[in-house]
Structure 1
């Protein structure tokens, strides 16, 4: 047993030290002006031949270069992006980036905690800013993520980070933004995804909901009075009742969503977002009525049932958007960390199935920023917001043309080289010699 553990740790060390990582970018010291690109603002608007300027990490100019007279000497660095496109940085919600490095190595897996009700568990503490996976998602424009715990009924508290940092303190955009509830399921599935077993009714469904409701009621009572003894678990839920935190309800079926909304209303929780939401289209009117948005589960998937339209996952964002529901995209599921790089192409699929390109872009920029309550800082190219953006040679939602030539996080110029591109160059040079 000890030999096996030693071997795994050895492989882990070898894997994580192959090709040294680049240091995080230094703070912006020179003002930058991007000229002549097509700017996709993230709010549905486009500016042809744009002028985007930023200083000290903040956007200070968003304009049509033809309509204003620009003094180029007002900016220390000018980038001519003619024929290219500028986008706000993409945001990956409900992500475990930095929480797991290698699934097979237990010592590198810190995404879940023992226990059922863990609102006090803070994912940010376990976040590894040096993860080799993180550097591989930036070249596709994913520059921010909501780091979210897994496991239990109440998994814990998420935080939002930017993806170029020395440590979790440097990475933080918003700490402890929300608490995640894995809502009870109506049915229990046996077997595995490879060999599905029987499906049975969850006889404890009501009991499990009541357990969560009792916990929330106790939490509210504790936080609304002066307790004689401090309870860190109950204290950690305070933000749900004063509106500073969001309750993220992970639910897919129509009944789960309806019951989840009712649970939140019964306990006077102010901000709620549905995560997953495969059958959210059946409850769209209820969601809109209560001002609840949806972080839609990975759309590159099959329907839940045999009698559903095979294209339903691709059409879901269009259906909900037409109903007036604020929709973002999340990418949890198999191989979710490395598949984070495909987030823009999920949005591209939504564009191919009904949404126009700028609406699809909002699914991973402004809409997600609203649902995570960080839209005052990022999500769109607007003056006063963080200069977290990138330049692409073509359409960023198309895997054939999304080729980044430059990227910035809070004005800092990123190095887009990764251990993968280094290996590519290394072996390209080797075989070119023959």
Structure 2
């Protein structure tokens, strides 16, 4: 029996999360690196001072004087970036898809605005650990399922528990807009496209729920209704409405829903055909978190490169746009988020503008731009240093990363395996 207990303990140690870094105590100076600010600008020979978890100053090293710091990091020949932000993510909610007990991304029922994804967030997830070596340091943890999935929160990816991780709690409600059509068949043998005869009824159900919630919130009743209470804040802008929608007609209907109900802040999640409704988006101040860039077009007769071009189409039109990663194998694919931005560069976007898709733009959309998303004086020192271009999967090599000034571990199960087998092959030589 003791033998089995020892084996279990060894297995737990081998696959456990790295210990979160302690609060920054010593001042840090990063010199010589090319700083990508995240707002479209760069500083070639930068000096970044980090004190008490904040960027105390960021200057051009050719003209600024270097003050004494406790720790100095020479980043000459390297690139420095703000921490990448993964919106609409399910990191920490599911560990193994095939193991039901590890799946906590959705709840039973259709109208669940009161379901708070943050309390199910597992900071010990190995997939959280695997995202950090690509520079992904922040995430919006969002629920799935139902018509109204629940409420998301924003976290930093180096914490003991969800209370330590959260940086913005209950930031928005996630609504899955109905489709006006459906496909018959399955992925291997797709059938035709058929109209959804229940589409109008499904929209009416959403409207009825919102009407009932508003009536409840405006009443003096002493009987509590927790789902209705969770809808509070949409009309004032305290909470944002994230509508998961792709179709052209559906996007128009979703924006009309925003106008009708005086919803202050709304973002389309997916937004595949948003580029066909540019004027409507601009007139109603609607932002977009685009569906996965590395994907096929939705229809067989479309430009096969449309997913790669979509971000540029929207950005050029003045739409605030970010990238998200929902879809198959989405949690393990989070590490590829910087490379999605790199693909947008390959299809016409300026590199610094593409960086904004996963840093400052996303920070603005989810409401954390006051402290994250760019390398600016007074903001959180959440950043990373790479030996190569962070948006290029051939050269991205993160050497150091900081969250709120804390130098975090970049080790993961994958890096452990790399080190182990590197020793094996060295021994053979």
Q: In the alignment, which of 117, 122, 126 is matched to residue 116 of structure 2?
A: 122
Aligned-residue offset at 1:191: 3.0
Alignment partner, residue 171 of structure 2: 177
Alignment partner, residue 248 of structure 1: 242
In the alignment of these two chains, the number of paired residues is 421
| 1:29 aligns to 2:29 (yes or no) | no
TM-score, normalised relative to structure 1: 0.95
- Give the unaligned 5+ runs of structure 2: 1-7
CA contact (8 A) 1:21 1:419 kept: no
| 1:60 aligns to 2:56 (yes or no) | yes
Aligned-residue offset at 1:16: 6.3
Structure 2: how far apart are the matches of 1:304 and 1:325?
Answer: 22
Alignment partner, residue 229 of structure 2: 235
Alignment partner, residue 75 of structure 2: 81
- Write out aligned runs for 1:327-346 (5 A): 327-346=321-340
SS at structure 2 position matched to 1:306: coil
Aligned-residue offset at 1:14: 9.4
CA contact (8 A) 2:55 2:376 kept: yes
CA contact (8 A) 1:182 1:251 kept: yes
| 1:386 aligns to 2:380 (yes or no) | yes
Q: Deviations over 1:91-131 (max 9, x none)?
A: 00010000000011100000000000000000001100000
| 1:140 aligns to 2:134 (yes or no) | yes
Alignment partner, residue 104 of structure 1: 98
Q: Structure 1's 247 and 51: CA in aligned 2 closer, same or farther, altered over 3 A? A: same
Alignment partner, residue 8 of structure 1: none
Aligned-residue offset at 1:27: 0.7
Aligned-residue offset at 1:392: 0.5
CA contact (8 A) 1:318 1:355 kept: yes
CA RMSD of aligned residues (A): 1.4
- Write out aligned runs for 1:46-57 (5 A): 46-57=42-53
Alignment partner, residue 415 of structure 1: 409
Residues 208-217 or 196-205, more deviating: 196-205
TM-score, normalised relative to structure 2: 0.96
Aligned-residue offset at 1:228: 2.8
Q: Structure 1's 406 and 40: CA in aligned 2 closer, same or farther, altered over 3 A? A: same
Structure 1: how far apart are the matches of 2:11 and 2:277?
Answer: 46
| 1:323 aligns to 2:320 (yes or no) | no
Structure 2: how far apart are the matches of 1:428 and 1:386?
Answer: 36
Aligned-residue offset at 1:342: 0.3
Q: In the alignment, which of 294, 309, 312 is matched to residue 303 of structure 2?
A: 309
SS at structure 2 position matched to 1:144: strand
| 1:369 aligns to 2:363 (yes or no) | yes
Structure 1: how far apart are the matches of 2:97 and 2:184?
Answer: 23
- Write out aligned runs for 1:241-320 (5 A): 241-320=235-314
